[in-house]
Amino acid sequence: MNTSTKLPKKLAVILCFLCTFAFSQNNELYISVTSMYYNMDMEDFSMEEWKKVEVEYFDKVVAKNENILSATTLLHHFTTNSSELLYVQVYPSWQAIEDASNKNEQLINEAWPNADEKDAFLKKRSSFFAKEHSDEIYYSIPGAKALVDEGMPLIYYVRTRYLAFPDDGNDEEFQNLLNEFNEVVTNNNEIYKGYYPMMHHYGSDRSEFIEVFLASTLADLEKGIAKQGELFRDHWDTEEKQDEFNDKLNHYLTGIHSDRIFSSVPELYKAYEQPDN
């Protein structure tokens, strides 16, 4: 089972017409999120065996694919579906998504040169999952707080908010407001191990605005949320200032949001190495 996303070459052109707001995309990264679901009809399902197979595939394919800058696998912790898991992969460009898919095929053939052994392994890997899956692609926006890998399972809190697309709004103001908030609040929150904001690029809902907060434990996640409020009130130190800022930022958002919490698998994590400038 190849979890990378391979899309028609003309799709990049079509996508240019889908978003009302352009948002600054200088030096952005592209993030593919493939949602998979465990095969609940598999009578002898074993998490230990699944992990063994996944680690073998990861080490021989994903970790060696230079087109994939970073990768992680996230398991259900608090989500609407206990069988859900996410494959998240980060690419330096749109073209790299297709290049990564082609490279995966090459690496698979190199890792399992015997056709029968390759087919047996891929069939075994696929057997752990239901046939249903979904793919989304996002692009990164400024404000990230990069994770320093500690080689331990982490909690990933995924908050999805939705853009309101106001007629009198503009992408620069929204990004400036978000930058201001993250500079004085999120990136000064020592409890969070990482923070990654991103926007919809390809998928079912063009209004999605995703923020991912990383913490060591659920207890730390709760502390981190409380710390966000504390830092916000320290910077905007009157109710009038708080209301003024919130009104400006919320002008761009519908007010509806959803929350999901996942846990990571350290053995299935490929760290992003910042390029030397």
Mean pLDDT (whole number) for 109-122: 98
Cβ-contact 89, 65 below 8 angstroms: no
Neighbours of 137 (CB within 10 A): 22
Q: What is the pLDDT of residue 13?
A: 30
Cβ-contact 213, 259 below 8 angstroms: no
The DSSP secondary-structure symbol of 274 reads P
Q: What is the pLDDT of residue 276?
A: 53
Distance CA 28, CA 11 (A): 18
3-class secondary structure, 220: helix
Q: What is the pLDDT of residue 207?
A: 96
Q: pLDDT tier at 274 (50, 70, 90 boundaries)?
A: low
Prediction pTM value = 0.87
- 16 pLDDT exceeds 50? no
Q: How far is CA 99 from each of CA 67, 96, 271, rounded to the nearest angstrom? A: 7, 5, 19
Reported as a single tens digit per residue, the pLDDT across 220-256 is: 999 999 999 999 999 999 999 999 999 999 999 999 9
Q: What is the pLDDT of residue 84?
A: 96
Distance CA 240, CA 144 (A): 28
Q: pLDDT tier at 9 (50, 70, 90 boundaries)?
A: very low
Reported as a single tens digit per residue, the pLDDT across 42-71 is: 999 999 999 999 999 999 999 999 999 999
The mean of the pLDDT values for the chain is 90
Q: What domains can be seen in the chain, in order of their start residue?
A: 27-139 (3.30.70.100), 147-264 (3.30.70.100)
